[in-house]
Amino acid sequence: MKPHRAFIGAGSNIGNRLAYLREACSRLNAHPGLQVTAMSPVYRSEPLGITEQPEFLNMVIQVSTSLTPHEILRCCSEIELALGRPADHVKWGPRVLDLDLLFYDELIVDTPDLTVPHPLMQERKFVLLPLLDLANPLHPVLHTTVRELLDICPDRSSVVRTDLKLKNPS
């Protein structure tokens, strides 16, 4: 069976943010159904929603996988919880780690617990910029590329590429 390509957005704004991102990549890669194949540079970004909180470090992780989208969601949730994110976290609030499935091949998933492509990615520069560092996939719902989405993105918050780089765990 041919492996699938998926992109996972990662962000942290509490504690040792870089260490949380590094550990997330390591744990994703350690999962038997996932292999980290590429990682974007790390970006600093202003918080959206609840703005009175520390800035985020964000990145995108590309994986090769035999897992289904729902299995990836479960894996990401388990990693978030293991690294200290409370199950009852505040939406848009501070967090040690946030992992979101952005794309899974060209698949469209719309279930109560998972929507792929991520339903808000086109409104978030902190997702589009690091994703574009890895690939320029066509959004299967909006029928436009990530580059084109970035060009029309309404997000005017500060998102800055850093010199921070994580080593690929594979």
Residues 32, 95, 142, 151: is their CA dihedral positive or negative?
Answer: negative
Q: Contact at 8 Å (CB) between 57 and 43?
A: yes
Amino acid at 155: D
Amino acid at 48: L
Q: Respond yes or no: is residue 133 known to be catalytic.
A: no
Mode of pairing for the β-strands spanning 56-65 and 4-12 = antiparallel
> Considering 85, 147, 151, 155, which one is annotated as catalytic?
85
> Considering 17, 22, 27, 98, which one is annotated as catalytic?
98
> Considering 22, 27, 95, 124, which one is annotated as catalytic?
95
Q: Respond yes or no: is residue 95 known to be catalytic.
A: yes
H-helix or E-strand containing 43? strand 43-45
Q: Respond yes or no: is residue 22 known to be catalytic.
A: no
> Considering 22, 27, 100, 155, which one is annotated as catalytic?
100
CB atoms within 10 A of CB 70: 15
Q: Respond yes or no: is residue 74 known to be catalytic.
A: no
Phi/psi at 126 (5° precision): -70, -10
What positions carry a catalytic annotation? 85, 95, 98, 100
